[in-house]
């Protein structure tokens, strides 16, 4: 495995709390921790990431890997082991606002990866096992676990939003049906009232016509109509 790939795995896995080298060498003096600045460590990391896949462990690659993996750079990285990228931070915050806390789920995954790493390393073919360490296997596991958690969380969020949309759509349809039913009821009442009014007017006109006829007949001397 190339120095660049080892660095890349460890850089990414550092978000899960692991590094390829987690402690300074006991054989290095304490003053060694100040050998490289944080800026030099960051430059070495960027070099290794940018040159990954371009072939070979060149002298420059070995030099940059030596800087990145030095106790000084390990010491610089240690306070930032749980850092995530700005985009990841935004995603985490967005998911948390929606009730999905990825970071709360990560410690269990990290512990699970650490527990499984020794057995997973032994299960590798001898040629691969010779180029890997328990920390690297665990780091890869953590990286995969984080990726899986993000995918699961986004799927949860998508399912929740679809469920919310379905509930809102159902509520909209219910309210629409209530409105339509109310409009239909109002139309029925208006029609019924109009029919009653028309019947009342017709009855009134009929009675008025009878009264006018009776008055006319009374005036003509037909007294039986005068009492009406």
Longest dimension (CA), the chain: 143
Domain for residue 129, yes or no? no
Domain for residue 43, yes or no? yes
**More confident call, 150 vs 77:** 150
Could you list the residue range(s) of the whole structural domain that residue 188 is in? 174-225
Q: Whose structure tokens read 């360490």?
A: 133
Residue 25 has pLDDT above 70, yes or no: no
**How many distinct structural domains can be found in the chain?**
2
Domain for residue 132, yes or no? no
Provide the percentage of residues in the chain whose pLDDT is more than 70: 78
- Rounded (5°) CA angle 70-21-68: 35
Per-residue model confidence (pLDDT) at position 168: 95
Residue 163 has pLDDT above 70, yes or no: yes
Residue 167 has pLDDT above 80, yes or no: yes
**More confident call, 191 vs 44:** 191
Domain for residue 69, yes or no? yes
Query: Rounded to two decimals, what is the model's pTM?
Result: 0.46
Domain for residue 192, yes or no? yes
Distance CA 210, CA 223 (A): 15
> Domain end: 83, 100, 135, which one?
83
């Amino acid at each position: 495995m190339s120095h660049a790939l080892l660095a890349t795995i460890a850089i990414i896995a550092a978000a899960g709390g692991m590094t390829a080298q987690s402690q300074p060498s006991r054989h290095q003096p304490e003053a060694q921790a100040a050998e490289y600045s944080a800026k030099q460590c960051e430059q070495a990391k960027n070099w290794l990431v940018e040159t990954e896949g371009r072939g070979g462990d060149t002298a420059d690659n070995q030099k940059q890997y030596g800087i990145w993996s030095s106790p000084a750079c390990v010491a610089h990285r240690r306070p930032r082991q749980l850092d995530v990228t700005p985009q990841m931070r935004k995603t985490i915050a967005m998911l948390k606002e929606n009730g999905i806390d990825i970071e709360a789920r990560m410690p269990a995954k990290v512990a699970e990866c650490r527990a499984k790493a020794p057995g997973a390393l032994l299960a590798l073919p001898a040629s691969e096992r010779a180029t890997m360490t328990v920390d690297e296997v665990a780091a890869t596991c953590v990286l995969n676990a984080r990726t899986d958690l993000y995918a699961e969380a986004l799927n949860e969020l998508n399912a929740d939003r679809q469920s919310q949309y379905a509930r809102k759509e159902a509520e909209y349809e219910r309210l629409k049906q209530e409105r339509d039913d109310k409009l239909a009821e109002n139309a029925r009442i208006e029609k019924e009232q109009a029919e009653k009014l028309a019947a009342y007017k017709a009855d009134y006109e009929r009675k008025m016509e009878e009264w006018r006829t009776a008055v006319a007949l009374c005036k003509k001397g037909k007294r039986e109509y005068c009492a009406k």
